Amino acid sequence: MKISNALATEPMRTLKEIPRLAMGFYPTPIEELPRLREALGKNAPRLFIKRDDYTGPGFGGNKVRKLEYVLAQALADEVEVVITIGGIKSNHCRATAAFCARLGLRCILVLNSPAAPSYKPANLFLDELYGAEVHLVTSREERKATMARLAQELRESGVRVAAIPLGASTPLGALGFVSAMQELAQQLSSFADKPNYIFHASSSCGTQAGIVAGAQLAGLSDIKIAGVSPDEAASTIAPEVAEIIRGIGRILKTEIPHEPILVLDDYIGEGYGISTPESSAALRLVAKTEGVVLDPTYTAKAMAGLLDWIRTGKLTRDDTVLFWHTGGQLALFAAH
């Protein structure tokens, strides 16, 4: 693993020149999970967890890394209003609202929920607490159309607007995880037992694209990246991940090679935001053995996929796995 040489490449120098807000707390720690490994039996691999639930603003999570780049560009463009979209429990929207509060930007969130919730989700409570203007709609299609309409109306009135796509999962946003892989490479330089797999939740595609591209650029291309989908089929996610990687390459002025994108879509269950028996069991097992809390929408399903690979022998004691915790635990809670 030639980390020091890889970090000195031209694409990495280009990355350092791209505007980025210094708002997250890095490096996020890596912890070993020995009691979880013990609970999984003698043939279980060595397990580590990367704690991106500790990134900081807006209760942390993977969206912080993306927004540091996306909102830095918004400030450079002298934007006055930021609009973005998500589900009613969206981590991305919560983090966006927190960033906008700190930056003094007006924030508009278009959130979809198929029905009015019987309680106020914690993320929605925080969106409002951060001062965001919330527009509730009933479908994913309606939220995109509503964001486009609101942005157009504001622009026609002379207001500078940044309309951020779902999850800030653009090539610019994905640079947050290219940088994260630099961070990981530095951390792993002192590890005697380096991971040969990374497992993480993959939904809006930007996190996986950044991890895959970053692995190539940071000298970690020997690590297999497994994204576990909480909602969409692999046939939908993988091409979008590849497209974002190509966009990253255009920004960094290089061609980024990658293996076929590995997306596991066997753990979705009934759909987005709906826990499965396996994800609920995974959430409880990790909490009980390690005191680590996952979230029910993303990381619990990703952990369920990892545990299934261990129990079915796809991963063994000869492997070392890093699980990337992307945050989102507030989905467990409601505000009353």
Contact yes or no for 205/192 (Cβ under 8 A): no
Name 157's Cβ contacts closer than 8 Å, sequence gap at least 6: none
6 Cβ neighbours under 8 A, 6+ residues apart: 12, 185, 217, 218, 219
- Taking the C-alpha atoms of residue 15 and residue 228, their distance in angstroms, rounded to an integer, is 27
Max CA pair span of the chain? 65
Instruction: Spot the catalytic one: 90, 169, 229, 279.
Output: 90
The answer to whether residue 90 is catalytic is yes
Residue 32 to residue 323: CA distance in whole angstroms: 10
C-alpha dihedral sign at 327, 228, 284, 332: positive
The 3-state secondary structure of 183-222, one letter per residue? HHHHHHCCCCCCCCEEEEECCCCHHHHHHHHHHHHCCCCC
Instruction: Name every residue whose Cβ is closer than 8 Å to that of residue 193 and which is 6 or more positions away in sequence.
Output: 46, 320
CB atoms inside a 10 Å sphere around CB 316:
11
**Which residues have a catalytic role annotated?**
90
